[in-house]
Amino acid sequence: MKIAMLAPVWESVPPRFYGGTERVVWWLSEELVRRGHDITLFASGDSQTSARLEPTTATAVRLRSDGELVDPVALHVAAAHAVRQRAHEFELIHAHIDHLAFPALHRGPVPHLHTMHGRLDMDGLAEVHAAYRVPLVSISDAQRAPLPDADWVATVPHGLPMDHYEAGPGDGDFALFLGRISPQKRPCAAIRIARAAGIPLVMAAKIDLADRGYYHDVVEPLILDGDGVEFIGEVNDAQKVELLGHARCLLNPVLWPEPFGLVMIEAMACGAPVLGRRCGSVPEVLEDGVTGVIADDDETLVAALRHLDRFDRAVCRRRAEERFSVAAMTDAYLTVYQQVIERADRRSLHHQHLDVAVSPHHVDPDVTVVAA
| Residue pLDDT, tens place only, 18-37 | 778 999 999 999 999 999 99
pLDDT of residue 369: 35
pLDDT of residue 70: 86
Q: Topology of domain 162-323, per CATH?
A: Rossmann fold (3.40.50)
For the stretch 345-352, contacts whose Cβ atoms lie closer than 8 Å and that sit 24 or more positions apart, written own/partner, are: none
Task: Identify whether the C-beta of residue 277 lies closer than 8 Å to the C-beta of residue 255.
Answer: yes
For the domain with range 2-159+327-352, which CATH number is right: 3.40.50.1580, 3.90.1150.10, 2.40.180.10, 3.40.50.2000? 3.40.50.2000
Residue 28 CA, chain-centre distance (Å), reads: 11
Q: How far apart are CA 372 and CA 350, in angstroms?
A: 34
Task: Identify whether the C-beta of residue 203 lies closer than 8 Å to the C-beta of residue 232.
Answer: yes
Q: Give the global pTM.
A: 0.88
- Provide φ and ψ at 256, rounded to 5°: -145, 160
For the stretch 111-115, contacts whose Cβ atoms lie closer than 8 Å and that sit 24 or more positions apart, written own/partner, are: 111/135, 111/340, 111/341, 111/343, 111/344, 112/340, 113/137, 113/153, 113/336, 113/337, 113/340, 115/139, 115/156
pLDDT in tens, 61-82: 887 766 678 899 999 999 999 9
pLDDT in tens, 113-157: 999 999 999 999 999 999 999 999 999 999 999 999 999 999 999
- Concatenate the DSSP letters of all residues of 130-145 into one string: HH----EEESSTGGGT
Distances (CA, A) of 235 to 20, 170, 203: 13, 18, 10
Query: Is 50 exceeded by the pLDDT of residue 368?
Result: no
Please list, in sequence order, all residues whose beta carbon lies within 8 angstroms of the beta carbon of residue 351, skipping any fewer than 6 positions away: none
| CA proximity to 8, closest of 102, 104, 73 | 73
> Hey, where are the domains in the chain?
2-159+327-352, 162-323
Q: How far apart are CA 266 and CA 320, in angstroms?
A: 8
Question: Mean pLDDT across the stretch 260-289?
Answer: 97
Sheet with strand 92-95: strands edge to edge: 52-57, 38-44, 2-6, 92-95, 112-115, 136-138, 152-155
3-state secondary structure of 40: strand
Question: Mean pLDDT across the stretch 302-320?
Answer: 97
Instruction: Name the band, by pLDDT with cuts 50, 70 and 90, for residue 348.
Output: low
Does the fold of domain 162-323 match that of domain 2-159+327-352?
yes
pLDDT of residue 67: 64
- Report the mean per-residue pLDDT for the chain: 92
Task: Identify whether the C-beta of residue 137 lies closer than 8 Å to the C-beta of residue 156.
Answer: yes
Question: Mean pLDDT across the stretch 268-276?
Answer: 98
